[in-house]
Amino acid sequence: MESKIADTLKFKFNPVAVIWTDEKPEKAIQFKKGKASCVMYLFSAAAKGKTAVVDKETFGCFGGGTGLGFSNQYVNFPGGLECFYHFLSTGNERFEKGKVVAKEIGKFLKKEFLEDFLQGERYQKSPELVKKFVDLLPITQIPKKYVLFKPLKDVDPAREEPVVVVFTANPDQLSALVVLANFNRKSNESVIVPFGAGCQVIGIYPYREAKSENPRAVIGLIDISTRKNLKRMGRDLFTFAMPLKMFKEMEESVEDSFLQRTTWKSLI
Protein backbone atom coordinates (compact mmCIF):
# COMPACT_ATOMS: atom_id res chain seq x y z
CA MET A 1 0.00 0.00 0.00
CA GLU A 2 1.51 3.28 -1.11
CA SER A 3 1.38 6.57 0.79
CA LYS A 4 1.72 10.07 -0.66
CA ILE A 5 2.19 11.35 2.88
CA ALA A 6 5.15 9.05 3.49
CA ASP A 7 6.68 9.93 0.11
CA THR A 8 6.36 13.64 0.88
CA LEU A 9 7.39 13.74 4.53
CA LYS A 10 10.30 11.30 4.17
CA PHE A 11 9.94 9.49 7.48
CA LYS A 12 12.98 7.71 8.87
CA PHE A 13 10.88 4.64 9.65
CA ASN A 14 8.19 2.75 7.75
CA PRO A 15 4.58 3.69 8.38
CA VAL A 16 3.01 0.76 10.21
CA ALA A 17 -0.34 -0.84 9.46
CA VAL A 18 -2.25 -2.28 12.41
CA ILE A 19 -4.36 -5.16 11.12
CA TRP A 20 -6.84 -7.52 12.77
CA THR A 21 -6.63 -11.03 11.37
CA ASP A 22 -7.26 -14.69 12.08
CA GLU A 23 -4.20 -15.72 10.07
CA LYS A 24 -0.62 -15.48 11.32
CA PRO A 25 2.01 -14.87 8.63
CA GLU A 26 4.66 -17.59 8.63
CA LYS A 27 7.65 -15.33 9.19
CA ALA A 28 6.02 -12.90 11.62
CA ILE A 29 7.96 -12.33 14.83
CA GLN A 30 6.08 -12.88 18.07
CA PHE A 31 6.78 -12.92 21.78
CA LYS A 32 6.84 -16.33 23.42
CA LYS A 33 3.80 -17.19 25.51
CA GLY A 34 4.09 -15.60 28.93
CA LYS A 35 7.13 -13.47 28.05
CA ALA A 36 7.13 -10.15 29.90
CA SER A 37 8.09 -7.34 27.57
CA CYS A 38 6.83 -4.14 25.95
CA VAL A 39 4.68 -4.78 22.91
CA MET A 40 6.00 -1.55 21.42
CA TYR A 41 9.22 -3.42 20.65
CA LEU A 42 7.17 -5.32 18.08
CA PHE A 43 5.81 -2.06 16.70
CA SER A 44 9.41 -0.84 16.44
CA ALA A 45 10.35 -3.99 14.52
CA ALA A 46 7.54 -3.30 12.03
CA ALA A 47 8.68 0.29 11.64
CA LYS A 48 12.09 -1.12 10.71
CA GLY A 49 10.64 -3.45 8.07
CA LYS A 50 9.56 -6.67 9.78
CA THR A 51 6.11 -8.11 10.38
CA ALA A 52 5.08 -8.83 13.98
CA VAL A 53 2.03 -10.44 15.52
CA VAL A 54 0.31 -10.37 18.91
CA ASP A 55 -2.45 -12.52 20.38
CA LYS A 56 -4.15 -12.89 23.75
CA GLU A 57 -1.26 -14.96 25.12
CA THR A 58 1.69 -13.00 23.68
CA PHE A 59 1.02 -9.33 24.36
CA GLY A 60 4.02 -8.86 26.63
CA CYS A 61 2.42 -6.91 29.48
CA PHE A 62 -1.01 -6.16 30.90
CA GLY A 63 -1.07 -2.69 29.37
CA GLY A 64 -0.15 -4.16 25.99
CA GLY A 65 -2.97 -6.68 26.09
CA THR A 66 -5.42 -3.96 27.07
CA GLY A 67 -3.99 -1.47 24.60
CA LEU A 68 -4.24 -3.71 21.56
CA GLY A 69 -7.79 -4.83 22.20
CA PHE A 70 -7.68 -8.04 24.21
CA SER A 71 -10.17 -6.85 26.81
CA ASN A 72 -9.13 -5.51 30.25
CA GLN A 73 -5.92 -7.32 31.10
CA TYR A 74 -5.27 -5.17 34.17
CA VAL A 75 -7.52 -7.57 36.08
CA ASN A 76 -4.66 -10.11 35.75
CA PHE A 77 -2.03 -7.78 37.20
CA PRO A 78 -0.33 -9.25 40.32
CA GLY A 79 -2.78 -8.56 43.13
CA GLY A 80 -5.53 -7.52 40.71
CA LEU A 81 -6.84 -4.10 39.86
CA GLU A 82 -6.26 -2.60 43.30
CA CYS A 83 -2.55 -3.37 43.19
CA PHE A 84 -2.36 -1.95 39.65
CA TYR A 85 -4.01 1.27 40.81
CA HIS A 86 -1.31 1.59 43.48
CA PHE A 87 1.45 0.50 41.06
CA LEU A 88 0.72 3.35 38.63
CA SER A 89 0.48 5.89 41.45
CA THR A 90 1.71 5.79 45.04
CA GLY A 91 3.01 2.23 45.17
CA ASN A 92 2.10 -0.89 47.12
CA GLU A 93 4.61 -0.55 49.95
CA ARG A 94 2.01 0.93 52.32
CA PHE A 95 -0.94 -0.96 50.88
CA GLU A 96 -1.56 -4.05 52.96
CA LYS A 97 -2.68 -6.29 50.12
CA GLY A 98 0.18 -5.03 47.97
CA LYS A 99 2.75 -5.84 50.64
CA VAL A 100 1.48 -9.40 50.86
CA VAL A 101 1.58 -9.81 47.08
CA ALA A 102 5.11 -8.39 46.92
CA LYS A 103 6.33 -10.98 49.42
CA GLU A 104 4.67 -13.79 47.48
CA ILE A 105 6.02 -12.89 44.05
CA GLY A 106 9.05 -10.71 44.81
CA LYS A 107 11.64 -13.40 44.19
CA PHE A 108 10.21 -14.02 40.71
CA LEU A 109 10.26 -10.37 39.60
CA LYS A 110 12.98 -8.28 38.06
CA LYS A 111 14.45 -5.78 40.51
CA GLU A 112 13.22 -2.77 38.52
CA PHE A 113 9.62 -4.01 38.35
CA LEU A 114 9.59 -4.91 42.04
CA GLU A 115 10.82 -1.44 42.92
CA ASP A 116 8.09 0.15 40.79
CA PHE A 117 5.51 -2.22 42.29
CA LEU A 118 6.45 -1.09 45.79
CA GLN A 119 7.31 2.58 45.20
CA GLY A 120 4.88 3.27 42.37
CA GLU A 121 5.50 4.64 38.91
CA ARG A 122 3.89 7.92 40.08
CA TYR A 123 2.22 8.60 36.74
CA GLN A 124 -0.90 9.65 38.65
CA LYS A 125 -1.30 11.14 42.09
CA SER A 126 -3.54 8.54 43.69
CA PRO A 127 -4.97 5.03 43.19
CA GLU A 128 -8.41 6.63 42.89
CA LEU A 129 -7.26 8.63 39.87
CA VAL A 130 -5.76 5.52 38.28
CA LYS A 131 -9.10 3.77 38.69
CA LYS A 132 -10.72 6.68 36.89
CA PHE A 133 -8.08 6.44 34.16
CA VAL A 134 -8.80 2.73 33.61
CA ASP A 135 -12.57 3.32 33.70
CA LEU A 136 -12.22 5.93 30.94
CA LEU A 137 -10.09 3.79 28.62
CA PRO A 138 -11.95 2.65 25.48
CA ILE A 139 -11.31 -0.98 26.39
CA THR A 140 -12.52 -3.45 23.78
CA GLN A 141 -12.25 -7.02 22.56
CA ILE A 142 -11.26 -7.23 18.92
CA PRO A 143 -13.22 -9.72 16.78
CA LYS A 144 -10.10 -11.45 15.42
CA LYS A 145 -7.40 -13.67 16.91
CA TYR A 146 -4.34 -11.57 16.07
CA VAL A 147 -3.16 -7.98 15.89
CA LEU A 148 -0.61 -7.63 13.12
CA PHE A 149 2.04 -4.90 12.88
CA LYS A 150 3.15 -4.67 9.27
CA PRO A 151 5.08 -2.10 7.21
CA LEU A 152 2.46 -0.24 5.21
CA LYS A 153 4.44 -0.73 2.00
CA ASP A 154 4.00 -4.51 2.37
CA VAL A 155 0.21 -4.40 2.75
CA ASP A 156 -1.75 -5.83 -0.17
CA PRO A 157 -5.07 -3.90 -0.26
CA ALA A 158 -6.67 -6.72 -2.18
CA ARG A 159 -6.06 -9.16 0.68
CA GLU A 160 -5.92 -7.16 3.89
CA GLU A 161 -7.23 -3.89 5.30
CA PRO A 162 -5.53 -1.95 8.09
CA VAL A 163 -7.65 -0.81 10.99
CA VAL A 164 -5.08 1.85 11.86
CA VAL A 165 -2.10 3.44 10.12
CA VAL A 166 0.72 4.77 12.30
CA PHE A 167 3.46 7.21 11.33
CA THR A 168 6.54 7.71 13.50
CA ALA A 169 7.39 11.38 13.14
CA ASN A 170 9.91 13.96 14.28
CA PRO A 171 8.61 17.36 15.49
CA ASP A 172 8.58 18.98 12.03
CA GLN A 173 6.81 15.98 10.50
CA LEU A 174 4.38 15.83 13.41
CA SER A 175 3.53 19.49 12.86
CA ALA A 176 2.82 18.78 9.22
CA LEU A 177 0.60 15.83 10.09
CA VAL A 178 -1.46 17.89 12.53
CA VAL A 179 -1.96 20.63 9.95
CA LEU A 180 -2.85 18.09 7.26
CA ALA A 181 -5.32 16.37 9.58
CA ASN A 182 -7.25 19.63 9.84
CA PHE A 183 -6.80 20.67 6.19
CA ASN A 184 -10.20 19.45 4.97
CA ARG A 185 -12.17 19.57 8.22
CA LYS A 186 -14.79 21.94 9.60
CA SER A 187 -13.31 21.30 13.03
CA ASN A 188 -9.89 22.47 14.20
CA GLU A 189 -9.60 19.71 16.81
CA SER A 190 -9.01 16.70 14.58
CA VAL A 191 -6.05 15.43 16.60
CA ILE A 192 -5.99 14.31 20.24
CA VAL A 193 -3.20 13.57 22.74
CA PRO A 194 -4.71 11.33 25.42
CA PHE A 195 -2.90 10.19 28.54
CA GLY A 196 -2.21 6.53 27.94
CA ALA A 197 0.36 3.83 27.26
CA GLY A 198 2.25 3.79 23.98
CA CYS A 199 0.28 0.77 22.77
CA GLN A 200 -3.08 2.24 23.77
CA VAL A 201 -2.64 5.29 21.55
CA ILE A 202 -1.92 3.16 18.48
CA GLY A 203 -4.56 0.60 19.47
CA ILE A 204 -7.75 1.12 21.43
CA TYR A 205 -7.88 4.92 21.06
CA PRO A 206 -7.75 4.93 17.23
CA TYR A 207 -9.95 1.79 17.26
CA ARG A 208 -12.55 3.94 19.00
CA GLU A 209 -12.05 6.81 16.57
CA ALA A 210 -12.64 4.42 13.66
CA LYS A 211 -16.27 4.18 14.74
CA SER A 212 -16.77 7.94 14.41
CA GLU A 213 -18.17 9.72 11.37
CA ASN A 214 -15.25 12.16 11.60
CA PRO A 215 -12.44 10.21 13.24
CA ARG A 216 -9.53 11.98 14.88
CA ALA A 217 -5.85 11.13 14.78
CA VAL A 218 -4.02 10.23 17.99
CA ILE A 219 -0.56 11.46 18.95
CA GLY A 220 1.47 9.05 21.05
CA LEU A 221 4.86 8.26 22.54
CA ILE A 222 4.12 10.64 25.37
CA ASP A 223 4.29 7.52 27.55
CA ILE A 224 7.59 7.89 29.43
CA SER A 225 8.07 4.15 29.88
CA THR A 226 7.64 3.55 26.14
CA ARG A 227 9.99 6.42 25.31
CA LYS A 228 12.59 4.73 27.51
CA ASN A 229 12.07 1.41 25.76
CA LEU A 230 12.24 2.87 22.24
CA LYS A 231 14.95 5.48 22.84
CA ARG A 232 17.27 3.75 20.36
CA MET A 233 14.86 4.71 17.59
CA GLY A 234 15.51 8.36 18.42
CA ARG A 235 14.72 10.84 21.16
CA ASP A 236 12.71 13.18 18.93
CA LEU A 237 9.97 10.82 17.74
CA PHE A 238 6.22 10.62 18.30
CA THR A 239 3.57 8.33 16.87
CA PHE A 240 0.67 9.64 14.86
CA ALA A 241 -2.06 7.04 14.52
CA MET A 242 -5.23 7.34 12.48
CA PRO A 243 -8.05 5.01 11.42
CA LEU A 244 -7.91 3.94 7.78
CA LYS A 245 -10.75 6.29 6.83
CA MET A 246 -8.81 9.30 8.08
CA PHE A 247 -5.59 8.09 6.47
CA LYS A 248 -7.34 8.01 3.09
CA GLU A 249 -8.79 11.47 3.69
CA MET A 250 -5.35 12.89 4.49
CA GLU A 251 -3.80 11.13 1.49
CA GLU A 252 -6.25 12.92 -0.80
CA SER A 253 -5.24 16.29 0.67
CA VAL A 254 -1.50 16.09 0.02
CA GLU A 255 -1.34 17.51 -3.51
CA ASP A 256 -3.44 20.63 -2.85
CA SER A 257 -2.01 21.41 0.57
CA PHE A 258 0.77 23.44 2.17
CA LEU A 259 3.08 20.47 1.55
CA GLN A 260 3.60 21.86 -1.96
CA ARG A 261 4.47 25.36 -0.73
CA THR A 262 7.72 27.05 0.20
CA THR A 263 7.13 27.36 3.96
CA TRP A 264 7.02 23.59 4.39
CA LYS A 265 9.81 22.98 1.90
CA SER A 266 12.05 25.33 3.87
CA LEU A 267 11.84 22.91 6.81
CA ILE A 268 12.87 19.83 4.82
* Residue 44 in this model has a pLDDT that exceeds 90: yes
Any idea where the domains of the chain sit in the sequence? Answer: 4-68+141-265, 73-136
Residue 42 neighbours by CB under 8 Å, 6+ apart: 29, 30, 31, 52, 53, 54, 60, 149
pTM: 0.95
pLDDT in tens, 20-36: 999 999 999 999 998 99
Q: How far is CA 183 from CA 12, 155, 159, 178, 265, in A?
A: 24, 26, 30, 9, 17
Give the pLDDT mean for 121-140: 98
In whole angstroms, give the CA distance from residue 35 to residue 58.
7
In whole angstroms, give the CA distance from residue 122 to residue 89.
4
Beta bridge partners of 169: 238
Classified as helix, coil or strand, 84 is: helix
Give the pLDDT mean for 170-176: 97
Q: In the sheet where 146-151 sits, what is the strand order?
A: 52-54, 146-151, 16-21, 164-169, 238-243, 217-220, 191-192
- pLDDT score, position 268: 83
Give the pLDDT mean for 232-253: 97
Residue 130 neighbours by CB under 8 Å, 6+ apart: 84, 85, 86, 88, 89, 124
Please report which confidence band the pLDDT of residue 106 belongs to, taking 50, 70 and 90 as the band edges.
Answer: confident
